[in-house]
Chain A
């Protein structure tokens, strides 16, 4: 009895902090999405409407009828596609890299993990800003290619979805490498030796033993890249430009120049729901399987 009283006391601060400063605000955000927008930004607390959600899919034409507006859907679609492509690219690069790292001698392995982690610890702004330097017209890549005579005109990569993808891939590569590496490193080598012993060559051993057993790491990495990629803000904002807007920038815009708070809240809420769905799908799938 005393024990449970003490435990409640230990749990209370975290429950109160996270409850009051995150859960409550999230609920408030959902509530705000149902309110009427104020004339100069902000909201009118007493007036309820579904305008924000309507605005997501429709707009009013000149005769004040509702017409389907796919602009915002495009933005969501683009975000999903960019996040998916980023996940795919990081996976293709990270897997061989993690495979190589995992089979290095132990001393070197630790050093490699450290080397891979260092860029991850530098500030995200720094990581994306460096790509501005590289990708912009008159930037490093443009200059090098020009000097080598490979292109006639500027590369025009900055402020396109390609630039955003490059920035995201760069930022999230360690998130994909590390879980796969951990999963491969923990692999029982004797299983692979058994496969060799039973006549498998390297390719077969890889396909039938290593690959399946590294799946938890792969899925973990994929989640760690896709989910933050969906809601990414810095990379699209710095590298993407106005023409290739993603969800993050769109939301920010509602609280900046567009002054449409309920709409911004609605967009945030939809993003949150998407993220939670992706995570529960993953959790549900892996809850039934025993951990290796």
Chain B
């Protein structure tokens, strides 16, 4: 055999070793399982009649038209975006400060602090929703947009913190020292050196916080008030009431929006590298 064929058969044999029987079948089945419901949902949203396959009456987009004209829903979308923007901005700033503090020399209460930052991720969302509701009722905060913003800021912090902290840890500590060595005050050093270098982490953290705020159902459900619902809460009430093609259309739109956001953030992430 020539060298080339020897190498090729060796590579093929090596590749064979890595194949575990049956795993491919399970993986494909699982991927189908993940996507079939979504595909079914999208198809049914184009049904002219109600969303039952038994009574399929042909393609139509009039449900989408209905949905896009629904002023309640449009208001809910506006509220969601408003809440997400405020909570993300506030949460990201706070998270950046926290990440800067934990990236220096280790301090005494650091483990406790990091546990506290992770707390919003650990507490079940229904418990957090209830607790926040009780708190607002007790101190007299009216349930509305502001109460939702406050609640969302809390979990925006850990979502933003993780990527920022990771990025800071990958940074050569000598860079900040070099800045100080070259006569930069701590603020100048942060603004001119650290901030530009951790910016991808901040962007990723903000994206994570934004997406999780947009998608939050349970906490928003408990702390929203009349006239100030977010989109997920609005859809939740609709879904509870029953299956209608309008819900199918909204769901599909929601899904497309999430995928679009995710793709944008993935592409942005690639560009930063």
Residues of A participating in the B interface, judged by any CB pair closer than 8 Å: 3-4, 6-7, 10-11, 13-15, 17-19, 21-26, 28-29, 32, 42, 93-94, 96-97, 99-101, 103, 114-119, 121-127, 129-134, 136, 138-140, 143-144, 170, 173-174, 177, 196, 202, 206, 227-228, 230-231, 233-234, 237-238, 248, 251-252, 255, 261, 264-265, 268-269, 271-272, 275-276, 279
Q: Are A275 and B123 touching (Cβ within 8 A)?
A: yes
> In the complex, what's the smallest C-beta–C-beta distance from A244 to chain B, in angstroms?
16
**Cβ B218 vs Cβ A22 within 8 A:** no
Decide if A15 touches B243 in the complex (CB within 8 Å). no
Which of A24, A29, A103 makes the CB contact (< 8 A) with B18?
A: A103
Q: Which 4 A-B residue pairs are closest in the complex by CB-CB distance?
A: A231-B124, A25-B135, A130-B37, A25-B131
Check B26 against A18 for contact (C-beta < 8 Å). no
* Interface pairs (20), CB distance under 8 Å: A10-B101, A13-B97, A18-B117, A22-B154, A25-B131, A28-B134, A29-B131, A42-B137, A96-B22, A97-B23, A97-B30, A122-B255, A123-B254, A127-B38, A129-B247, A130-B38, A130-B40, A131-B37, A144-B53, A255-B222
Q: Tell me which residues across on chain B come within 8 A of A275, comparing CB atoms.
A: 122-124, 127
Q: Is A17 touching B134 in the complex (CB atoms < 8 A)?
A: no
Q: Which of A97, A117, A170, A227 makes the CB contact (< 8 A) with B27?
A: A97
A interface SS class: helix
Q: What's the minimum C-beta distance from B180 to chain A, rounded to whole angstroms?
A: 11
Q: Is B12 at the interface (CB under 8 A from chain A)?
A: no
List of A residues within 8 angstroms of B138 by Cβ: 28
Within 8 Å by CB of B30, from A93, A252, A271, lies: A93
**Contacting B211 at CB < 8 Å: which of A94, A121, A196?**
A121
CA distance A233 to B126 in the complex (A): 7
Check if B59 is an interface residue, CB within 8 A of chain A: no
CA distance A6 to B243 in the complex (A): 55
Nearest chain-A residue to B156 (Cβ)? A17
Chain A residues with CB under 8 A of B128: 22, 25
**Are B125 and A233 in contact, CB atoms less than 8 angstroms apart?**
yes
Q: Which residue of B lies closest to A252 (CB)?
A: B126
Residues on B with beta carbons closer than 8 Å to the beta carbon of A233: 125-126, 217-218
A247 CA to B124 CA, complexed, in Å = 11
Q: Which residues of B contact A131 (CB under 8 A)?
A: 37
Distance in Å: Cβ of B128 to nearest Cβ of chain A: 7
Contact mask for chain B residues 87-112; partner A; CB cutoff 8 A; 1 contact, 0 none: 00000011101101100100100000
Tell me if B215 is interfacial: C-beta within 8 Å of chain A. yes
Residues of chain B within 8 A of A136, CB atoms compared:
243
**Which B residues are in CB contact (< 8 Å) with A139?**
52-53
Across the interface, do B262 and A26 meet the contact criterion of CB distance under 8 Å?
Answer: no
Interface bits B192-205 vs A (CB < 8 Å: 1, else 0): 00000000000000
Q: Which of B175-230 contact A (CB under 8 A)?
A: 186, 211, 215, 217-218, 222
Q: Is there contact, CB below 8 Å, between B258 and A99?
A: no
Docked complex Cα distance between A202 and B184 (Å): 59
User: What residues of chain B lie closer than 8 Å to A252, measured between beta carbons?
Assistant: 126
Contacting pair B131 A28 (CB below 8 A)? yes
- Min CB–CB distance B103 → chain A (angstroms): 10
Instruction: Give the chain A neighbours of B243 by CB distance below 8 A.
Output: 132-133, 136
**B69: interface (CB < 8 Å):** no
Contacts of A42 in B (CB 8 A): 137
Q: Which of B60-68, B70-78, B234-242 contacts A (4 or more CB under 8 A)?
A: B234-242
Q: Are B94 and A129 in contact (CB under 8 A)?
A: no
CB <8 Å contact, B259 and A122: yes
Whole-angstrom distance between the alpha carbons of A144 and B56 in the complex? Answer: 13
**By the criterion CB–CB under 8 Å, are A265 and B130 in contact?**
yes
- A17 and B153 contact, CB distance less than 8 A: yes
In the bound complex, residues from chain A placing their C-beta under 8 Å from that of B41 are 126, 129-130, 133
Contacts known (A122-B258, A132-B239); A17 close to B126, Cβ less than 8 A: no
Q: How far is the CA of A253 from the CA of B269 in the complex (A)?
A: 43
- Report A-chain residues with C-beta under 8 Å of the C-beta of B211: 121
Q: Which of A4, A100, A174, A227 contacts B107 (CB 8 A)?
A: A4
Q: A21-B153, A99-B20, A268-B130 are in contact. Are A26 and B123 (CB under 8 A)?
A: yes
B217's contact among A17, A18, A115, A125, by CB below 8 Å, is which? A125
The reply on B272 being an interface residue by CB < 8 A is no
Once A125-B251, A170-B34 are accepted as A-B contacts, the answer to whether A25 and B134 lie under 8 Å apart by CB is: yes
* Distance in Å: Cβ of A119 to nearest Cβ of chain B: 5
Q: Which of B117, B123, B211 has the most CB of A within 10 A?
A: B123
Q: Are the CB atoms of B40 and A121 closer together than 8 Å?
A: no
In the bound complex, residues from chain B placing their C-beta under 8 Å from that of A6 are 186
A11 (CB) vs chain B CBs: closest residue? B101
Which residue in chain A gives the minimum CB-CB distance to B102?
Answer: A11
